[in-house]
Chains A and B, each alone.
Chain A
Amino acid sequence: MTPRKQPPPESPSDIRRRTHVILSFWLIILFLGLPIWWWTTTIYRARLPLQEMLEWADGKACRPVFPLRISIQANSLQEQEAQNLLRLTQHALDDLNDFSGHHLRLQLSPPSSDAKQTHDSGSALTIRLIPGETTTATLDPLEPVLDITYPPNAIPLPTSSSSTLATYVAAQLRSTFAEEQATISYLLSTNAIPSEHRPQGLSPEAAESLSKRTTRSLKYAPTYHLTFSLFTSGPLPSSWDIEAAIDEYMKPVLDVLSPIHNFTIDTQVQLYATPGVQNQVLNKEDLSSFINAAEWPLSPSIGGAPTINFIVFVGNQTIAAASQSPEDASGSESSAAHSWLIPQWGTVYLLSLPLDVTHLSVASLKQPLLTFTSHLLSLTGTPQSGSLPLRLSTLARIRSADLLLRASSTLGSLARLALALPSISIPRSVADGVAKTMAHLRLACETLGGAEGLAHARIAEAEAERAFFEKSMVGQLYFPDEHKIAVYLPLLGPVAVPLVLGLINELKAWSKRRREMAKRGEEKKRE
């Protein structure tokens, strides 16, 4: 056997040609591939003010303080006497108050002759001091005005350091604002506010009742969708004057709530609707399964806004008296036996009608709608004590505090997310959203308690939510670095092997040629 014939040496032109081929591939990789790789896969991280964001979340940036101005109107008192009474009452209030965040500040309003123009909009409450027989206090049902009558001898002397009237006024004020104070302290205590700002002495029972009320009301949303549904067990009635009835009975409350929420409304009528429970008399357990979720067209939410359902059910069913819990009967007495509130969902009103009624008039809808209105207030989290104007203004303050805390904690979550995932991209829009949120939070913090503060808090909360739920970030929430190997390797690995091996072979051959050249040169020299 002859030994294997060695191939003849490659010609220099072949070697040069191979070098050029390998170079042509590597030039494309180096001058096009690498820049493109760098350019398309670098993660854009907008700079976020992380420290400030965390401060907001920890409650260090803003201490929620509600300075409530209370004007005292004492037309029948001398200026001097009134000032004195005010000073004493303020003292008594300060002694009673243990929560610095919620502060009542008294002021004397100039005596006005016009009895109608009693309340000025800058203050939360006006106290009208009226001389009378005994010491009494009544809340005006239409305006945030507290009427206090006092016997003539109750006026404190300028020299005295205490006065029963002053103490009485202070106690009245405190009880009026007790619920608001408790709610706000509850809000602060459930959020990450450092303990020194946190009010003391929120009793466990109070906390429990507040948490119960919070679970009953809907989660805050800038817009609620109200659905009014008429379900009838038979063919009649088939029409209702719901629009007129809403305008008449519900619109005023919706208007008052409009700085806090927007409302959209739709209505529907469904005949021959079967409830989930067929019993003639409904027990407490039946109430929760009365809604026939499978058949009634009650969509969970339309257009993204949470829906509040108000259902008028025309049938002959009644509620067993024992099942009425005192809380549910918060409406007027006559509605007690007809309606119940479903937490975070809405209200059902049972209406029994004579069989031949074909059309529900505005008048027959009055009672259901009044019930719905009062339930709407508790569903939106309105406090329950006090007169309506006071309850609504309290709701505005509670909401601003709530939104402020919510936006702050969202900022904190975003900051922690940005710190925890160094490879997540942060688009410019998120940084813009954070900047806007902080600007509005600062404004809201300064004007807390007023309408302006509420508006700023609403914008801040909306912006914070938008920044946090940025679409391009959510997708990357879980994308560890190991995944990148799985992304790059399957395609680029096989491509890289021949390219890298070709380059290595070429470099080896080149260095070998150089060594041989050097050797040959030396040999030549030696010769």
Chain B
Amino acid sequence: MDGGKVTLGRTAGLYIGAAVLRLAIFTLLPGLPDLLTGRVEISTPVTSFKRLQEGLFLYNHNVSPYDGGVYHQAPLFLPLFSLLPSFATYPIFTYLLYIAVDLLNARALWRIANSGEAGSSALFTSPRREKRWSGFVIAAVFLFNPFTVATCIGRSTSVFTTCAILHAIAKAVSGAPLGAMVALSFASYLSMYPLLLLPPLLLLCYDRQRPERAVKSSLAFASIHVSIVAGVLALLFQMSYLITGSWEFLPSTYGVQLTLSDLTPNVGLWWYFFIEMFDSFRSFFLAVFWLHLSCYVGGLSVRIRRQPLVVLTLLLGIIAIFKPYPSISDTSLFLAMVPLYRHVFPLMRYSFVIAAVIMYATFLGPAFYHLWIYAGSGNANFFYAITLVWGLGQSLLVCDLMFAVLRDEWEVERPEMVGKEIRQI
């Protein structure tokens, strides 16, 4: 399939189909959105739509939205959602906003796919690049992925972060480093962790500069664009300050992510660990967990320097496993990027195991949560065990994808080894 041959009608059909599916779920199953909003797999303390409603209510009544200790999201969401007609009376506008964000994400993915960056970057061209999926298929895989649909129906605010990250990558591959940096700043402003994507994104932007206005010195390029990110972030913080009237939002949004003060269970690995942690070691292990999350950035960027998009994809996977408040929305973003590497799928060794483990955790996770919280016949260990399996499935996928990409690179150096068993030493 070739992206260029996809007719306008098919594109419109895909988008309309995805929109109609979401709209149908919203309108025909009116109980489902609220049910999904309450699920810990979808709504974390830092992305929950319910908490956003609470913050919005306080904000509209001229009370600081962070006063209740419930709302931990960025302040700029508040004016955005206040502009919409009230959710209580016209929920359709909120639904349409979330559907639009999903379609924008799909469009960005489409552009990333069609750029061909996954198969041939500036420094490396895969011999297998011909065997790839078109933007249409990748967008369709994203739009009809049950995780994406569930996130959209659950109205988790992480879709906005996803949108910003995907647009940052799309801008970067199309040679618009400025747009990429601004989009990444927005993503970082909303969720903080996308700041970890800055180094590989800088590399990607550097590799895909338009030749007519390229900055040759890598150091100059990096410093210019880091200062752009810093400037945009400062501007966003200033706007937030003007909106809320105090710097209180910093500890309430980023402070909560850094210190994990809200220990609501989620699909990640942090909450259980910090429930059990001795108080005197809590701050040390918080630092260890954050360092662990961030220490992959340097290593991966150096090792897979020739394919920065791979680094971004792998980092998105690692973040979806190890960040403090992960949800299936982060996994859906990672799973949206993985099909770009259709050409290395034959090199992956554990595709079946990965698929089985992820399906297993997907079905058993809600069941174990139910046993623990509602039936009372299980305990927290049940749910934590299944989140460990979930993390295992994702880390297998990350490792296997990395293996496949490295093997792809290696086969270019050693053409005589193509198709042979190899052993890692």
Which positions in A face B, CB cutoff 8 Å? 8, 17, 20-21, 24-25, 27-29, 32-33, 36-37, 40-41, 425, 472, 475-476, 479, 487, 491-492, 495
Contact = CB atoms under 8 A, between A and B. Distances in A.
B131 interface: no
Contact of B284 (A8, A20, A21, A40): A40
A21 B288 contact: no
22 contacts: A8-B414, A17-B305, A20-B302, A21-B299, A24-B295, A24-B298, A24-B299, A25-B298, A27-B298, A28-B298, A33-B288, A33-B291, A36-B284, A36-B287, A36-B291, A37-B287, A40-B281, A40-B284, A41-B280, A472-B279, A479-B278, A495-B292
Interface residues of B, number: 19
B291 A487 contact: no
A491 to B, nearest CB: 7
Contact of B288 (A24, A425, A492): A492
Interface in B270-285: 278-281, 283-285
B291 A21 contact: no
A28 B292 CA distance: 9
B162 interface: no
B284 A41 contact: yes
A28 B302 contact: no
Contacts of B291: 28-29, 32-33, 36
Contacts of B299: 21, 24-25
A478 to B, nearest CB: 12
- Which secondary structure characterizes the binding site on chain A? helix
A425 B278 CA distance: 14
Which 5 residue pairs spanning A and B have beta carbons closest together?
Answer: A24-B298, A40-B284, A36-B287, A40-B283, A20-B302
Contacts of A24: 295, 298-299, 302
B303 interface: yes
Contacts of A425: 280
Contacts of A495: 292
A32 B288 CA distance: 10
B276 to A, nearest CB: 11
Most buried by A among B279, B285, B305: B285
B305 to A, nearest CB: 8
Interface of B: 278-281, 283-285, 287-288, 291-292, 294-295, 298-299, 302-303, 305, 414
Contacts of A17: 302-303, 305
A29 B298 CA distance: 12
Nearest to B301: A24
A37 B298 contact: no
Most buried by A among B278, B279, B283, B414: B278
A8 B416 CA distance: 12
Given A425-B280, A491-B285, 4 more contacts: A21-B303, A28-B295, A475-B280, A492-B288
Given A17-B303, A21-B302, A24-B298, A487 B292 contact: no
A425 B280 CA distance: 10
B282 to A, nearest CB: 9
Contacts of B298: 21, 24-25, 27-28
A476 B287 contact: no
Contacts of A8: 414
A492 B295 CA distance: 14
Given A21-B303, A24-B298, A37 B284 contact: yes
A17 B299 CA distance: 10
Nearest to B282: A40
B284 to A, nearest CB: 4
A502 B233 CA distance: 37
A28 B294 contact: yes
Contacts of B283: 40
Nearest to A18: B303
A32 B283 CA distance: 14
A42 to B, nearest CB: 10
B278 A487 contact: yes
Nearest to A41: B284
Contacts of A20: 302
Contacts of B287: 32-33, 36-37, 40
Contacts of B278: 479, 487
A32 to B, nearest CB: 6
A61 B284 CA distance: 42
A487 B278 CA distance: 9
Nearest to A37: B284
Contacts of B288: 33, 36, 491-492
Most buried by A among B292, B302, B305: B302
A479 B280 CA distance: 11
A25 B303 contact: no
Contacts of A33: 287-288, 291
A25 B280 contact: no
A215 B302 CA distance: 76
Contacts of B414: 8
Contacts of B295: 24-25, 28-29
A7 to B, nearest CB: 9
A494 to B, nearest CB: 11
B77 to A, nearest CB: 31
B259 to A, nearest CB: 12
Contacts of B279: 472, 475
A4 to B, nearest CB: 11
